[in-house]
Structure formats: structure tokens, C-alpha cells
Amino acid sequence: MGILFVLFTYWQFNDLEQYDTEWWQGWVLTYALCSIISLVTWAKALPRWFYFSISMVALGVAVYWSLGIEWHKTVLYNETNPSGNESGGLIIIGVWFAVLAWQQKAVGCGSNKSDR
């Protein structure tokens, strides 16, 4: 998934040229951080609350962005309204970090470790 987020980061530069996205720096930073966190997780697990927090924030913002989707038009790759693309990316982030949070719970079952 870290590699996928690297690709998402790269594609944001394409979105700048194609869609003239106003918040492109924020999306580049978001996907780059997700990539770094995913790669760090490969080496060392982070606390479960950390993954869960990222997941909830991403899904909450995805719901907010989805309010801007013009459902009667093309939802994805809409040059005048990128809300569908942005919501989709945030859902991927939210689901991925929920999986990481769940995985941490499964790994920690039966141990005496405090809630990570």
C-alpha cells in the first residue's frame, strides 16, 4: 500500500495540470504521509489508536467531500468537480488505516500489552 500511496502522490501533480486542483499541495502531503506511515508500519507497528484516528478523520472528510459530488454528472474524473476522486482517495485511506488498526488488535490479542 505504501507504493500505491506513492503513485497517488505522483498522480496529484497530474491532477494539478488536468483539473487545476486548488488544494493540490494538501493532497500531495496527505498521500506522501500515508505512504511514509505505511512503509514505517512494514518495519514497526505503530499504536492502534494512531491508525484508528487516521481512519476516522479520512472517512469523515470523505463524507464531507462527497456532499459536493454532482451525482447527475460523471462522478470520477470530472474535470469541473473533482469531489468524486477526492472522496474515493480518502475512502481508500480510511479503509487501509482501519485494516491496520484491526490488524494491530488481532496481533495483540491474548497478550498483556496495554492498548496500543
The total of structural domains in the chain comes to 1
Instruction: Indicate whether 9 belongs to any domain.
Output: yes
Note down the domain range covering 86.
Answer: 2-108
Instruction: Indicate whether 31 belongs to any domain.
Output: yes
Instruction: Indicate whether 12 belongs to any domain.
Output: yes
Please give the residue that has the higher pLDDT: either 98 or 81.
98
- Alpha-carbon distances of 83 from 37, 104, 106, 113, rounded to whole Å: 25, 31, 34, 41
pLDDT band at 19, cuts 50/70/90? low
Instruction: Indicate whether 113 belongs to any domain.
Output: no
pLDDT band at 116, cuts 50/70/90? very low
Instruction: Indicate whether 116 belongs to any domain.
Output: no
Instruction: Indicate whether 115 belongs to any domain.
Output: no
Instruction: Indicate whether 114 belongs to any domain.
Output: no
Tell me: the pLDDT tens digits for 41-84?
A: 988 989 999 999 999 999 999 999 888 777 777 776 666 667 77
* The predicted structure's pLDDT at residue 73: 78
Instruction: Indicate whether 93 belongs to any domain.
Output: yes
